[in-house]
Structure formats: C-alpha cells, structure tokens
Amino acid sequence: MELAELLAMPRLGLRSVVASPVESPRIRGVYTTDLPDPGRYLDGGELVLTSTTWYHEPRDADVFVAALSGAGVAALVAGTADVGAVPAPLADACTRHGLTLLTVDDDISFAALTETVLAALGGGHRRAPSVNLHRGLVASMAAGEGAEGLIDVFARATGVWCAVLSATGVPRAGGVLSVSERQLARAHHDALGAGGFPAVRTVPGGGELSLFPVQSPVAHRPPSAYLVSSGDYRDWAPGVADAAWEVCALLALDGAATQERRRIEARFLREAVDLLADGREEAAASRLTSLGLALDAPLSAVYMRTTGSPYGAELAATVLEDVADRLPGCSVPIPAEDGAYLMLVPEGDHDTSGAAERLAPLLADGHAAIGTGEPATGTTGLRRSLDEARNALRVAALGAGTVRTADPDSLSSYQLLLAAVPDDVRRFYRDRLIGVIERYDAAHGSDLVATLTAFLDASGSWQRCAQQLHIHVNTLRYRLQRVEQLTGHSLATLRDRVDFCLALSIR
C-alpha cells in the first residue's frame, strides 16, 4: 500500500512532521521497536512505529534514523504519549536522511495502527468478519458512538474502510482510500442515475467504489444516507456484504431517533408559523426561541417543492433535512401548502439548489422548485420573508430546467402575476396565442415561434433580428405577417407585443 492511503484512513490520527522526499512511499510491512539501533531487524519498506523512549540526547536521533534510512524503511511514526512531543533533533535527522516522519494522536494505539496496515496489506477486503463483529456493532450503537463508531468496528473486523454519505452525497463520517470528495459525489450521482443498490461505480484514478443505501425511517422517502467503500463488494469474502447491510440497518435505526427529534421540533415550528400568520408575534417568538432560532440574526424562509419523482414531495423533505444537518442554525423542514416544504435558514446558508442538483437523478422527468425570502430579523421581518418565499416558489414553478429557483428580486417581475393565475387559465391563454402558431409550424415545417421569440428578444428591431437569424429583412417581415394573420394580433403595437411576451413565458 502507499503511504498516502494510510494518511487518508479515518480515525488514525496520523500527522506529517517531515514530508516524504518521494511522492508516496510504498509500505510493505509494519514493525514496532524501541531499540536504539534496530537496523539489523529491518528488511526495507516497513512502516516503523516507535514510542521514542530510546531518545536521551541528539546523537541518539541520528543513530536511530541512520539505521532506518540505511535499511530503506518507508516511514517512521513517532508516538509522543511517553515523551510529550517529537524531539526536534529527531525531525532534523529525518530531514537530513530523507526519511518521512509522522506522529500520531496519543489515544491511537500502535496495535490499532498495526492491525490497520496488516489488514490493508493482506487484502483485508477478503477477510471474513469475525463472530464478534455483530456484538461490536451493537456495543458501539449502545455506546452512542454513531456512524463513526459503527464504521470503525466494521473496518477493524473486515479490513474494509468506509464512509457515510448524506442523502445528497456529502461525506458525513469515515473516509475512503485515495478518493476525493468530488469523486465521491460523482460516484453517488452516477449510482442514483443508474438505479438499483448495492451499486459499483468506477472512479477514474481511484478504482472501484461500492455503495449501499441506508433506508429512511420515514416511509416513501429516498435513502437517508449511503455507505460507500473501496473495491467491488462482489469480491469480498462471504459475510462481509451481509455485515455492510447490518451497518446500514443500524445507521437507519440511529436515524430513527433523529427523526423523532425532528418530529417534535416540526410541531413547534408549525405552531410558530401559524401564530405569525395570525399576527400573534410574541407567542410565535417564544416558540421559535425554544427551537434555538436566533431572531436577532437574519433568517430566510425557504420553500421547496419536488414533483415527478417516485418519492414525490417527500424528496423535498429529504433534501432540506440534509441541508439542516450540514448547516447550524437551520430549522427542521415542515410540510406547507400544495405539497411544498418550508425551512428557516441563516443568512447566506441556503444552498438548497446545490443539494437538489445532487439529487437530480431522482427527479426523473419532474423538477424541484425553490423559493427564497429576503433575510430578516425579528418576527415582523420573518413574516415578510415567509410571504416572499411563498410567492417566489410560485414564480420558480413557472421556470424551466430540473431545479428552478426564485428569490425576492423576481417578485417585481410580471412572472409573479402569472404565477397567481390558475394553471388552466395560463394554458388557455398561451394556447390562444402561441398554440395556433405551433400547430402551423408542425403542419408546414416552418419556424414561426422561434422567429417571434427572436423578434421580441431584439426589442422589435427588424434589422438586428434579421442579422441574428441570418435572414433577409423581407423574409422576417413575411414570417411575422403570417404570425399576425394566425393570431389576430399586431406586432406594431406595444400592447400586443406584451401579450406575445407573456404567452411565450408560459411553459
């Protein structure tokens, strides 16, 4: 294995003191010693572990490091539990001899380091789990160690190091060897798009990753998290994949307790929002304060609605819960009108569109609409932000693309007026003006809708529009005369041009 892989392993607490003179030394073994001159016991390529108790004066460091360097070891790990700090002469000697020097947290034992290295060197992913694995997982769960504890027990029993990703692919616990956070997100995105779990995805330069889903404790929602590990799970020894599923089940159980807390907080937030709507701001402030929301700091209201997904509106809840878990100061999401979900977030922290983009494969042929209110302080300001976000959501729903967003700036646009019009009225209005042109285009192979759009985008400039379309002005005039004949509207008047603009903006 490479030293870089060891440094990337979670919970080992390794830190570099003297950097490697080569890109990443290869480790072929592990050796623990406190001999002042251990050279005759080394074959080369070892990761040497020492408590540094042999050190008494600067000359000791030079003798020790010279022996390691002469034997060709990969790196030295110096513990400091007994000596307090890495001696400066030891670091100087490693620099002179070109030897990588690391140190380790005092609460990490050399036995744990040795076990980890040997597991990786021996192809730990092929090692069947011990009979004590289940007991260790349950004990970790009972001790409240959470995801970090569970994957640590699993890794030490099987040699498979894992990470836990959130519902939107953000790392939450653990780590995966030689894989960046961006590569993890890409693998998660591809796995969602392909569908079906467990999934195996190939990462360029990082080998293969296996992903297992952690089922949500709430019915009809997408997985609340994912367990991801290096390698193809189909190559694991018998029982290892079953153990991974057990870790997922325990992670889901851990999530159930979190979901119960969210349910209680959601009830208080729902009451606060209802009190604000009734104008009872003092009572609303009391509820919000009990939730830990600071009313003297700017808060924004965020509404999200997802449609077209197998999970329907529940996908919005999953995305917003993921945002709330990552950002301190957010409220839990609560159901709102028309299948939307509402959440309060601190100013500048509403990266809900990014989270929704990461779940885009689950949107299928649907979309996510997100409306955000202006950041505000106090209950009066928050009430205004709620109104703005609610109306911005209506505007976002009229947009195009997989994830559609709108903020308070869009509320001074004609789009807000269109958003307030019932769907059937908007469809009828568009069909009366644009539908007849579309049907003509379909029947005659013409392109009148695109020509009309280009003309309006050019602010009615015949010359500029003709240049953009690469046609003669007379050709442009002929096409738009046909539009006027079909619709009974004149492009010579501003009023009729406005009608066309509004109809074209309706999708």
The 3-state DSSP class for residue 174 equals: strand
Other CB atoms within a 10 A radius of the CB of residue 272 amount to 27
Across 195-219, average pLDDT: 83
Pairing of strands 75-78, 101-104: parallel
pLDDT of residue 411: 81
Across 307-329, average pLDDT: 84
pLDDT of residue 125: 47
Confidence class for position 180, pLDDT limits 50, 70, 90 = confident
pLDDT of residue 440: 93
Q: Report DSSP state, residue 375.
A: P
pLDDT of residue 11: 64
Average pLDDT of every residue of the chain = 85
Residues facing 29 on adjacent strands: 46
47-51, 231-235, 297-301 — which is least confidently predicted? 231-235
CA distances from 183 to 244, 259, 352 (A): 21, 29, 21
Q: What is the pTM of this model?
A: 0.64
In 3D space, the residue among 222, 169, 215, 207 whose CA is nearest the CA of residue 354 turns out to be: 169
pLDDT of residue 124: 47
Q: Does 372 score more than 70 pLDDT?
A: yes
CA gap 129, 153 in Å, rounded: 11
Are residues 228 and 209 in contact, defined by beta-carbon separation less than 8 angstroms? yes
For residue 405, is it left (φ>0), alpha (ψ between -120 and 50) or beta?
A: beta
CA distances from 47 to 3, 6, 190 (A): 9, 10, 37
pLDDT of residue 334: 93
pLDDT tens digits for range 421-446: 787 888 888 888 899 999 999 999 99
CA gap 211, 241 in Å, rounded: 11
Give percent of the chain with pLDDT exceeding 70: 93
pLDDT of residue 350: 58
pLDDT tens digits for range 458-489: 999 999 999 999 999 999 999 999 999 999 99
CA gap 362, 354 in Å, rounded: 14
pLDDT of residue 449: 93
Q: Does 66 score more than 70 pLDDT?
A: yes
Q: Does 201 score more than 70 pLDDT?
A: yes
pLDDT of residue 249: 92
The 3-state DSSP class for residue 37 equals: coil
CA gap 372, 379 in Å, rounded: 17
More confident of the two residues 160 and 332: 332
Distance of CA 419 to the CA centre of its chain: 31
Other CB atoms within a 10 A radius of the CB of residue 346 amount to 17
Highest mean pLDDT among 196-200, 296-300, 340-344: 340-344
Written as six digits, the tokens of 167 are: 């519902």
Phi, psi (rounded to 5 degrees) for 343: -145, 150
In 3D space, the residue among 389, 407, 398, 396 whose CA is nearest the CA of residue 426 turns out to be: 398
CA gap 268, 273 in Å, rounded: 9
Are residues 430 and 506 in contact, defined by beta-carbon separation less than 8 angstroms? yes
Q: Does 355 score more than 90 pLDDT?
A: no
Other CB atoms within a 10 A radius of the CB of residue 127 amount to 17
Give percent of the chain with pLDDT exceeding 90: 30
The DSSP result for 277-337, as a single string, is HTT-HHHHHHHHHHTT--TTS-EEEEEEEEESSTTTTHHHHHHHHHHHHHSTTPPPPEE-G
Are residues 144 and 135 in contact, defined by beta-carbon separation less than 8 angstroms? no
Highest mean pLDDT among 203-217, 357-371, 378-392: 378-392
Q: Kindly tell me the burial class for residue 9, based on how many C-beta atoms sit within 10 Å of its own C-beta (0-12, 13-18, 19 or more).
A: buried
pLDDT tens digits for range 127-147: 566 667 888 888 888 888 888
Written as six digits, the tokens of 332 are: 């839990």
Residues facing 213 on adjacent strands: 226
Q: Does 157 score more than 90 pLDDT?
A: no
pLDDT of residue 120: 65
| Structural domains of the chain ordered from first start | 3-121 (3.40.1390.20), 124-254 (3.30.450.40), 293-419 (3.30.70.270), 423-505 (1.10.10.2840)
